[in-house]
Amino acid sequence: MRNVKTKRISLVVPVLNEQETIGLFLERVLPVVEAASEHISEPLTVEVVFVDDGSRDETAAIISAFARRDARVKLVSLSRNFGKEAALSAGLKYATGDAVIPMDVDLQDPPEVVPEMISKWVAGAKVVEGVRIDRSSDTFLKRLTAGRFYDLFNRLADHPIPANVGDFRLMDREVVDVLLTLGERTRFNKSLFSWVGFSRDEVAFVREPRAMGASKWRYWKLWNFALDGIISSSTAPLRVWTYIGTLLGSLAIAYAGFILGAKLLGNVDVPGYASLMVAVLLLGALNLISLGILGEYIGRISTEVRGRPLYIVERTFGIDASDLPRVSRG
């Protein structure tokens, strides 16, 4: 943390086609966050770093118009849609605050809990997680799949992620600087955020329904996102084949012993067509599944090896290059 008296809070907000929400967001969030200085009796400044993730509507123009009038508003425009995870990573790089808070623009992360996060941060926590205490604003299917995902993820991953904690959290500059040094291309921020550790605290919040517009996530995208998360945090899906193979091998040997015994005792029956088919198809399927999983990992290795940047910044607005943090990586 820098030793200045005034603390700067950066809100990092990825946006995709959100022209109707930008104004609403700024109007509601800025006063609430600035008022936090009363709670902690220390002066605060706030900046909002919007990352335009390749919007096709007026999102970028609207943000630039705000930025022109208000120095607290900044814009990083990506050259196309890179996905929320990449956009968030870009925002973390361009944020200059002593504490950084990723937020969704749709007001689903209520700004009213930000002052509480800030006071826990001032009290010493390096990470203050927002914990959702109520998912009733989600559909039943979303709740069900999210619950199963967290169970599975935490059973498999080398490092668990807390259930019901999303990207909405406060992170100290020290934590953000460490995150910026992590080099992987497949970003699953939720897991990276918890992987780095640091002293943590939490605040509870209720996730509200979207203020306007529609969610940008569809189930197929969420499924791929979940797959990325598990594969980038665990090698269990690769290792499990060793055990399945060993188990099936042992069964095969036992069965071979049984057949040999039957042959020696002279009572050989003609082996069934059905059992042969089942064995062949089952083993074929297992082979294909294990190959597919290998493929998932190899595909990600080749993405990493290619080493292309995570995102491409087309232009920025309101950002002073000399302000940018020391660690930089794109």
Contact between 145 and ligand UDP by CB under 6 A: the answer reads no
Q: Using CB under 6 A, which of the segments 41-49, 211-219, 274-282, 312-320 binds ligand UDP?
A: 211-219
- Assess 217 for contact with ligand UDP (CB under 6 A): yes
Stretch that binds ligand UDP, among 122-130, 171-179, 210-218, 242-250 (CB under 6 A): 210-218
Amino acid symbol at 56: R
> Would you count residue 106 as binding Mg ion (CB under 5 A)?
yes
Residue nearer to ligand UDP on the CB measure, 113 or 125: 113
Fill in the DSSP letter of residue 18: -
Query: Around 238, how many Cα atoms within 13 Å sit in the side-chain half-sphere?
Result: 12
With 0-12 / 13-18 / 19 or more C-beta atoms within 10 angstroms meaning exposed / middle / buried, residue 58 is: middle
Told to check if 154 binds ligand UDP by CB under 6 A, we report no
**Given candidates 19, 37, 59, 108, which one binds Mg ion under the rule CB under 5 A?**
108
Task: Judge contact between 303 and 69, C-beta under 8 A.
Answer: no
How many other CB atoms sit within 10 Å of the CB of residue 188? 22
Site for ligand UDP in 45-74 (CB under 6 A): 53
Report residue 23 as tokens. 């104004």
- Under rule CB under 5 A, residue 85 binds Mg ion: no
Smallest distance, ligand UDP to C-beta of residue 17, A: 7
The yes or no reply on residue 75 touching ligand UDP (CB under 6 A) is no
> By CB under 6 A, is residue 18 in contact with ligand UDP?
yes
Query: 315 pairs with which residues across the strands?
Result: 77
Considering CB distances under 5 to 8 angstroms, the limit depending on partner class, which of Mg ion, ligand UDP, none binds residue 100?
none
Residue 275 contact, options Mg ion, ligand UDP, none, Cβ 5-8 Å cut-off depending on partner type: none
Task: Output 139 or 275, the one with its CB closest to ligand UDP.
Answer: 139
Q: Which of residues 14, 111, 130, 237 is near ligand UDP by CB under 6 A?
A: 14
Per CB under 6 A, which region of 40-48, 81-89, 237-245, 265-273 contacts ligand UDP?
81-89
Residue 223 interacting with ligand UDP (CB under 6 A): no
Residue 170 interface partner, choices ligand UDP, Mg ion, none, CB cut-off 5-8 Å depending on type: none
Query: In whole angstroms, how large is the CA radius of gyration of the chain?
Result: 25
d(CA 229, CA 223): 10
What is the per-residue DSSP string for 66-134?
A: HHHH-TTEEEEEESS---HHHHHHHHHHH---SEEEE--TTS-S-GGGHHHHHHHHHTT-SEEEEEEEE
Q: Give phi and psi for 20, each to the nearest 5.
A: -85, -15
Cα–Cα distance, 91 to 85 (Å, whole number): 10
Please state, as a whole number, how many other Cβ atoms lie within 10 Å of the Cβ of residue 249.
Answer: 10
**Residue ranges that bind Mg ion, judged by CB under 5 A:** 104, 106, 108
By the criterion CB under 6 A, which residues form the site for ligand UDP?
Answer: 14-16, 18, 53, 81, 83-84, 87, 104-106, 108, 210, 215-217
